[in-house]
Amino acid sequence: MTYAIIGTGAIGGYYGALLARSGQPVHFLLHSDYEYVRTHGLQIDSCDGSFHLDHVNAYNDTAAMPPVDVALVCLKSINNHLLPALLRPFAQQPVPPLVVLIQNGIGLEADLEQQLPGIPLAAGLAFICSAKSAPGRINHQCYGHINFGNYSCHDSSIMDRLVDDFTNAGVKAGLVDYAEARWEKAVWNMPFNGMTVALNTQTNMLLQQPDTRRLIREQMMEVITTAQHLGVNNINEDFAELMLSMTDEMTPYSPSMKLDYDYHRPMEIHYLYSRPLQIARQIGHPMPRLEMLEAELRFLEQQCQH
Amino acid sequence: MTYAIIGTGAIGGYYGALLARSGQPVHFLLHSDYEYVRTHGLQIDSCDGSFHLDHVNAYNDTAAMPPVDVALVCLKSINNHLLPALLRPFAQQPVPPLVVLIQNGIGLEADLEQQLPGIPLAAGLAFICSAKSAPGRINHQCYGHINFGNYSCHDSSIMDRLVDDFTNAGVKAGLVDYAEARWEKAVWNMPFNGMTVALNTQTNMLLQQPDTRRLIREQMMEVITTAQHLGVNNINEDFAELMLSMTDEMTPYSPSMKLDYDYHRPMEIHYLYSRPLQIARQIGHPMPRLEMLEAELRFLEQQCQH
């Protein structure tokens, strides 16, 4: 299939370069690195083997991009207000592409569906440590597997081909239930992203201290019981224990929101906190600890701007 | 009446010096400032008029103190494990004195009652800005009124005489319902003490930001509804509004726990958070936001020690 990469950063640059290397036609939307990458290509420094993509189909405007089968949205979700305009040219294709949101959070697909009705949507859940280290240069540190969850694509064969293309590109990929996958990821993301910012620490310190370990577990249970109220029944208390012991095994880790905060970049508070909290309130199952964390993050973000 | 001041610091030094100036026999327990105060007396720098107490009945051991009618406990509550030993000589008087705990928190009198059964207890709720500025020197910045709540004193005339003595000493003093007064103070103390530490800020900033203002109000309502569950029915939603608007009117303020944290002194987490949270859980009415705040404070305190 042909691909558009909407946002050629740590995630989009990595997966797009792998797909291109494996022979798929890939078209990259760039912003600040457009001139550099058009001239010099993309360098992927990877734990799985580094490589350079000499020729990159680079664009700085989606209106100039050709029709594609799949658009991978790899922007930070703080930029999602730009998506309707960015995706409009693709939405006007005779057969619009599958749009895959490789982003963290809850409610992303529902919001985009409102803005671009009828466009087929899927979620991409990436488990990857990757960062942009310089213009046109991605540093892929570890992991990299990705799961896809079909949100509104009626042609399920496209989902299968998506998994095949990623697999052929050397990425461990699979199909998962959309709601289950998004909420499972939120079980880890909602406690750890915010708490490492609020307490200026890393995952391991939060788990070593009994009080914060208990708090993290309670926050996980707020997410799990909300998901259960929404009919996502395959996530239960065991999943919280699994996430805790999995995180115990990880090296001390700063989640993406902690890095954003430390580097004075905007934090993804809206889709990581505000939207799921809104959904939880709507079904009459508020999450008080995560609401408190949201308030603390909004306060810290505002302080940071002064 | 005769008085013992257990802890001659910002609070005990101030009230004790006023009582002594007005002619009451006052005996001061001192620790680090014992030699200095015995020689040089006590200096009170006060917004209401400064004065010097030349002769101070100073002690560094309660066993050496004479019998008294009233013992005012003005220690930080982190030292309350010392109280049974400190108060033992008074408890062995033929008629034990009224012990007044001029301290912040919930559960202080119940714990001491277990340790020294039969000793008459009362709470002192001080509304005062005061600090020790040097050995034997207290800086009283503003306010100063105090309310007393009878916990277990069967002779109510002693409570009346206590109010009279403070009034004669120039302190605005009154009698209040014990449980109501302790929980009313907790409505302000529990949100503001911890949140100024957790977010490294002052009261005014927390109230200016809509997210944290809402959070502070929710935390106040956790305390208010817990008090209501305990049968303290005179505190309701209006009291939260009153505390918010009162705090709006204050100058930017760092509560005592924020000062303790900033100066690397131990924080009064136990009686300001852990005990009331334990009581709330025992009656089946947990306070999730304040439990989260307790966990954050315990984490920060441990980090601070490294």
Which chain A residue's Cα is nearest to B208? A299
Model-level pTM?
0.93
Class of domain A180-305: mainly alpha
Residue A100: pLDDT over 60: yes
Which of B190, B202, B215 would best serve as a mutation to test chain A binding (most A beta carbons within 10 A)? B215
- Condensed to tens digits (0 to 9), the pLDDT of residues B89-125 reads 999 999 999 999 999 999 999 999 999 999 999 999 9
- What is the per-residue pLDDT for B251? 87
- Residue A292: its chain B contacts at CB < 8 A? 215, 218, 288-289, 292-293
Of B212, B289, B299, the CB nearest to A211: B299
Q: Does B198 contact A198 at a Cβ distance shorter than 8 Å?
A: yes
Of B212, B289, B295, the CB nearest to A214: B295
Would strands B3-6 and A121-134 be described as parallel, antiparallel, or unpaired? unpaired
Decide if A211 touches B, using CB distance below 8 A. yes
Q: Does B296 contact A205 at a Cβ distance shorter than 8 Å?
A: no
- Condensed to tens digits (0 to 9), the pLDDT of residues B274-294 reads 999 999 999 999 999 999 999
Which of B195, B209, B299, B301 would best serve as a mutation to test chain A binding (most A beta carbons within 10 A)? B299
- Residue A289: its chain B contacts at CB < 8 A? 288-289, 291-292
Rg (CA), chain A: 19
Q: What values do phi and psi take at A200, rounded to 5?
A: 50, 60
- Residue B212: its chain A contacts at CB < 8 A? 295-296, 298-299
Name A174's Cβ contacts closer than 8 Å, sequence gap at least 6: A145, A147, A148, A163
Name B275's Cβ contacts closer than 8 Å, sequence gap at least 6: B105, B106, B107, B108, B111
Q: Find the helix or strand (DSSP H, E) in which A212 lies.
A: helix A210-229
- Residue A296: its chain B contacts at CB < 8 A? 198-199, 212, 215
What residues form DSSP beta bridges with A149? Answer: A123, A176
- Condensed to tens digits (0 to 9), the pLDDT of residues B122-142 reads 999 999 989 999 999 999 988
Architecture of domain B3-176: 3-Layer(aba) Sandwich (3.40)
- Residue A212: its chain B contacts at CB < 8 A? 295-296, 298-299
Q: Does A201 contact B296 at a Cβ distance shorter than 8 Å?
A: no
- What is the per-residue pLDDT for B159? 98
- Condensed to tens digits (0 to 9), the pLDDT of residues A67-92 reads 999 999 999 999 999 999 999 999 99
- Confirm if A240 and A224 have CB atoms less than 8 A apart: yes
- What is the per-residue pLDDT for A175? 98
- Please state, in angstroms and rounded to a whole number, the distance separating the CA atoms of residues A209 and A211: 6
Residue A306: pLDDT over 60: no
- Percent of chain B as helix, strand, coil, to the nearest 5: 50, 20, 30
Which chain A residue's Cα is nearest to B295? A211
What residues form DSSP beta bridges with B130? Answer: B140
Q: Does A212 contact B299 at a Cβ distance shorter than 8 Å?
A: yes
- Please state, in angstroms and rounded to a whole number, the distance separating the CA atoms of residues B216 and B192: 7
| 3-class DSSP assignment, residue B165 | helix
Residue B306: pLDDT over 60: no
- Condensed to tens digits (0 to 9), the pLDDT of residues B13-52 reads 999 999 999 999 999 999 999 999 999 999 999 999 999 9
Catalytic positions of B: 185
Name A61's Cβ contacts closer than 8 Å, sequence gap at least 6: A29
- What is the per-residue pLDDT for B42? 98
- Condensed to tens digits (0 to 9), the pLDDT of residues B147-194 reads 999 999 999 999 999 999 999 999 999 999 999 999 999 999 999 999
Average pLDDT, chain B: 96
- A196: closest CA of chain B, how far (Å): 11
Q: Does A289 contact B289 at a Cβ distance shorter than 8 Å?
A: yes
Percent of chain B with pLDDT over 70: 99
Decide if B60 touches A, using CB distance below 8 A. no
- B214: closest CA of chain A, how far (Å): 8
| Mean pLDDT computed over A18-22 | 98
Question: What is the pLDDT confidence band of residue B304, given thresholds at 50, 70 and 90?
Answer: confident
Which 214-243 residues of chain A touch chain B by CB within 8 A? Answer: 214-215, 218
- Spell out the domain ranges in chain B: 3-176, 180-305
Average pLDDT, chain A: 96
- A188: closest CA of chain B, how far (Å): 17
Decide if A201 touches B, using CB distance below 8 A. yes
Catalytic (active site) residue A185: yes
- Condensed to tens digits (0 to 9), the pLDDT of residues B231-269 reads 998 999 999 999 999 999 988 989 999 999 999 999 999
Question: What is the pLDDT confidence band of residue B273, given thresholds at 50, 70 and 90?
Answer: very high
Residue B305: pLDDT over 80: no
Of A289, A299, A302, the CB nearest to B292: A289
- What is the per-residue pLDDT for B259? 94
